[in-house]
Amino acid sequence: MTAIASPRLAAPVARRETMPFLIQVTTMTWRTLLTNIRVPAVILPPLIISGFFLLVYNSTLSGAANFFLRDQPYLGFILPLSIVSAALSGASVAGTSIVRDIESGYYDKLMLTPINRAALLLGPMIAGAILLAAQTVVVVGIALLLGLQPVTGFLGLLAVIGIALLLGVGFSGFTVGIALRTGSAAATSGASFLFFPLSFLTATFVPYELLTGWIKTAAFWNPITYILDAMRAILNLGWETDTILRGIGSCLVLGVVLFVWAYTGLRSRSKRK
C-alpha cells in the first residue's frame, strides 16, 4: 500500500544556493510597492493632508508672519511642516504592510522559506521610503506652484527631500516595531498617534525663539524642532552648516533608536517559540 511505483521527478528537488541578500531585499521592496500602489487609500491621505496644510497655513498665516520672519517668505517657513507631516504619517506604510502580512498569514509563508529575516524588515522600509520620496516631491511641487523660491536653489530642494527621507525611514522603524510586536493592525495605525505630539509640540507655526513656557521645553526635547529648523534654514536662509547638521543629527538619532526598536521586534517575531 505504501510502495510508490512511479519514478521520482528527474528535476532537482531542493536547490542549495540561497538568493543573494540584496536580491531578497529588492524582491521584498518590489512586493511592498506593488501592494501599496494597488491600495491608494494607504498612500493618498498623507499626501492630501500635507497639501491641505500647506495651502491653508500659507493662505491664513503668511500675512501675520511678517513680524517674526522679517521678510523671509512664509512659504519657505511652513513647507517643512507639511513635509515633516507627510514623512511622519507616510512612515506608517512599512508598519501597515508588515501587519497586513502577519494578519493574512502570508508572513508565515515567507518564514517557511530560507529568506534572511532582515530582508523582511528592510523590504517594507525601503518601499516606504520610495513612496515617501514620491510624496515629498509632490508636496514640494505644490509649493513651487505656490511660488516657493528656495535661496539654496535646486540643490536645497534635494537636501530638504533627503532630510525628509531620512526622517521618514527612521520613523517607519517605530510603526514597524509596533507591527512586529503586536501583529495588530489597530495597534499599528494607533501608533501613528505619536505624529501629533511630534508635529505640534515644536516650533510648528512660529520660530523656536518665540516659544515660551512648557511648550518651549517640549520643543527643546523634540527632535522634530531641529529637523524643521534645518529645512527652514535651507529654504529661507542658506547653507547654515550648524543648523543643518543638528537637523541631520536629530534624524539619525531618531532613526537609530527606532531601527533598534524595529529590529528587536523582528527578532522576537522571528524567534521560534
Partner 1 sequence: MSAQPDGEIIADGLVKRYGDFAAVDGVSFKVNTGEIFGFLGPNGAGKSTTVIMLTTLALPTSGRATVGGFDVVTQANEVRRIAGVALQEIGLDKIMKSMELLTIQGQLFGATRKQAQNRAEELLALVKLSEFVDRPVGKYSGGMRRRLDLAMALVHQPQVLFLDEPTTGLDPASRRDVWNEVRRLNRDFGITILLTTQYLEEADELADRIAIIDRGQIRVEGLPAELKAALGSESINIAFKDDESVTRAASEMAGMFDKVQIDRKTLRLYRAKAAEIIPEVVTRLNTAGLVPVALTLTAPTLDDVFLQVTGQSFEEDAKSDIKTPSADSADKKPAQRGFGRRKSA
Of the listed pieces 9-17, 75-83, 193-201, 232-240, which binds partner 1 according to CB under 8 A? 9-17
Nearest to 157 by CA among 49, 240, 246, 83: 83
CB of 119 to partner 1, least distance (A): 9
Task: Decide: is 186 part of the binding site for partner 1 (CB under 8 A).
Answer: no
- Quote the DSSP letter at residue 123: H
Which of 105, 147, 153, 213 is the binder for partner 1 (CB under 8 A)? 105
Nearest to 126 by CA among 247, 36, 231, 187: 36
Helix (H, G, I), strand (E, B) or coil at 53: helix
Which of 16, 67, 147, 241 is the binder for partner 1 (CB under 8 A)? 16
Task: Decide: is 107 part of the binding site for partner 1 (CB under 8 A).
Answer: yes
84 burial (CB, 10 Å; 0-12 / 13-18 / 19+) is buried
Which of 22, 23, 158, 256 is the binder for partner 1 (CB under 8 A)? 23
Task: Decide: is 41 part of the binding site for partner 1 (CB under 8 A).
Answer: no
34 vs 260, beta carbon nearer partner 1: 34
Binding residues for partner 1, total number by CB under 8 A: 41
150 and 234 Cβ atoms separated by less than 8 Å: yes
Instruction: Tell me which residue has cell 533608536.
Output: 257
The type of residue at 124 is P
Q: At what angle do helices 21-38 and 40-61 cross, to 10 degrees?
A: 70
Task: Decide: is 35 part of the binding site for partner 1 (CB under 8 A).
Answer: yes
Task: Decide: is 96 part of the binding site for partner 1 (CB under 8 A).
Answer: no
Task: Decide: is 239 part of the binding site for partner 1 (CB under 8 A).
Answer: no
CB of 15 to partner 1, least distance (A): 4
Task: Decide: is 181 part of the binding site for partner 1 (CB under 8 A).
Answer: no
226-230 contacts at long range (C-beta below 8 A, 24 or more positions apart): 226/250, 227/80, 227/84, 227/163, 227/167, 227/251, 228/80, 228/81, 228/84, 228/202, 228/203, 229/203, 230/163
CB of 92 to partner 1, least distance (A): 17
Which of 55, 110, 130, 185 is the binder for partner 1 (CB under 8 A)? 110
16 vs 70, beta carbon nearer partner 1: 16
Measured between alpha carbons, how far is 84 from 256 in angstroms, rounded to an integer? 18
Helix (H, G, I), strand (E, B) or coil at 222: coil
| C-alpha distances out from residue 253 to 90, 165, 172, 246, 260, Å | 19, 14, 14, 10, 11
Which of 22, 39, 158, 245 is the binder for partner 1 (CB under 8 A)? 39
Which of 94, 96, 100, 148 is the binder for partner 1 (CB under 8 A)? 100
Which of 7, 63, 147, 153 is the binder for partner 1 (CB under 8 A)? 7
The residues of the shown chain that bind partner 1, judged by CB under 8 A, are: 1-4, 6-9, 11-19, 23-24, 27, 31, 34-35, 38-39, 100-101, 104-115, 272-273
